[in-house]
A and B are shown apart, each in its own frame.
Chain A
Amino acid sequence: MSSGRIFNKFKNGISPPSFIRGFAWYSFVIVSWVPAAIFFKNNIGAVGEVGGESMYPYLNPTFNEGFSKDLCWISKRNPAKNLQRGMIVTFWSPSHPEVLSIKRVIALPGDKVITKAPYPYPTAVIPVNHVWVEGDNKDGRKTLDSNHYGPISMNLITGRVTHVLRPWRGPVRWWEFEDSRRVIKGRIQDAPHFD
């Protein structure tokens, strides 16, 4: 068999039974790995393309100059655990449930945030199990973030951006992010709860 070299890995040296020889057998072998791929994508990590300019200048710095989009590695292992200010997370946008947003965590439960323009109140205190996310873009019209929809539930977070792959910039050094001056740090014990 001419394609033997490619499929030897799956075949492990034994020939498949006569009634599902050939194409059907190899299709089955490939399809049998699809659940594993889905599991990996949802629970271990995935490559994601950054679509917009909300994280300018950190991600998509050349957004206005061409069609190139940044690629990043999104870790999906316990993304909402031990979140810190400065981390970049992906989450289902509260205002568009089928859109994955990518923003930076600005404030944690208990913190007080001095909000920006579209938010109806001058300050916001972050409740339990919520975070305040914002895009890096200084222009508030270029980023749809917590200033529009308020603090987001940590249960919406699906992943954490750990590496920028294209152009290669290596691991995301979130700890070098200077905390926003619009955040007054608080204690998690003081975070509001709806009870």
Chain B
Amino acid sequence: MAFLQRASRTFKWIHTRYAGHPFRLATATLQSLLALHVFWKFGYSVEPTWGASMLPTIQVMGDHVLISKQYRRGRGIEVGDVVAFNSVYEPGETVIKRVLGMPGDYVLRDTPGRSNVMLQVPEGHCWVIGDNIPYSRDSRHFGPLPMGLIRGKVLAVVFPWGERRSIGREDLKPVEN
């Protein structure tokens, strides 16, 4: 009963504060929208994905991924993590790839089997490759990725809910001989 009384009192307060006060209501709405925007930018976001480059981890169409912005600009990213970053060449486009090299690491420059040229990932950059190597445009084409472009780390596929699964560096396994 106490809970109901409390709820009714809160409702009454909201009513007296906002009913008939269009300016107050508009301000509160704007503040809520901005709070959501900040949460989306610096907390978590759920975004649809498209493309074959991350098969079999992320499907070609229809998957929505949960992105944690805590890892923006490459904070705390390790080899094997899947990251979402602003495309190097396309303005306003987000790309999802897996990190295969951190600053200082030596990585294979081209597709395995094509050449054996290794290069060292420069300071502040990382080496990103799609899981579906033949159908991915990644660091093999545009070179090391500046970590300042990283928007966040992909934690899981959350939609469709029936196919939800977490994504992480555990997916990366050493080659079996």
Band of interface residues on A: 20 to 34
- Known contacts: A35-B37, A38-B38, A129-B91. The answer to whether A194 contacts B146 by CB under 8 A is no
* B110 close to A (CB within 8 Å): no
- Known contacts: A95-B122, A95-B124. The answer to whether A153 contacts B17 by CB under 8 A is no
Nearest residue (CB) in A for B24 is: A12
List, in ascending order, chain B residues with CB within 8 A of A127's CB.
Answer: 89
* A119 close to B (CB within 8 Å): no
Question: How far is B86's CA from A80's CA once the two chains are assembled, in angstroms?
Answer: 13
- Known contacts: A94-B125, A97-B148. The answer to whether A129 contacts B38 by CB under 8 A is no
**B89 and A129 contacting across the interface, CB-CB below 8 Å:** yes
- Known contacts: A12-B24, A194-B137. The answer to whether A153 contacts B73 by CB under 8 A is no
Question: How far is B21's CA from A82's CA once the two chains are assembled, in angstroms?
Answer: 42
* B116 close to A (CB within 8 Å): no
**A42 and B41 contacting across the interface, CB-CB below 8 Å:** yes
A194: which of B24, B30, B35, B142 is its contact (CB, 8 Å)?
Answer: B142
List, in ascending order, chain A residues with CB within 8 A of B132's CB.
Answer: none
Q: For window 42-62 of chain A, which residues contact chain B by CB distance below 8 Å? A: 42
* A92 close to B (CB within 8 Å): yes
Question: How far is B40's CA from A42's CA once the two chains are assembled, in angstroms?
Answer: 13
List, in ascending order, chain B residues with CB within 8 A of A156's CB.
Answer: 146, 148-149
**A97 and B34 contacting across the interface, CB-CB below 8 Å:** no
**B141 and A194 contacting across the interface, CB-CB below 8 Å:** yes
**B89 and A194 contacting across the interface, CB-CB below 8 Å:** yes
B149: which of A14, A38, A155, A195 is its contact (CB, 8 Å)?
Answer: A155
**B146 and A80 contacting across the interface, CB-CB below 8 Å:** no
Sample of 22 A–B contacts (CB below 8 Å): A12-B24, A14-B16, A17-B13, A35-B35, A35-B38, A36-B30, A36-B34, A91-B148, A92-B149, A93-B148, A95-B125, A97-B73, A97-B150, A129-B88, A153-B88, A153-B146, A154-B91, A155-B86, A155-B87, A155-B91, A156-B148, A156-B149
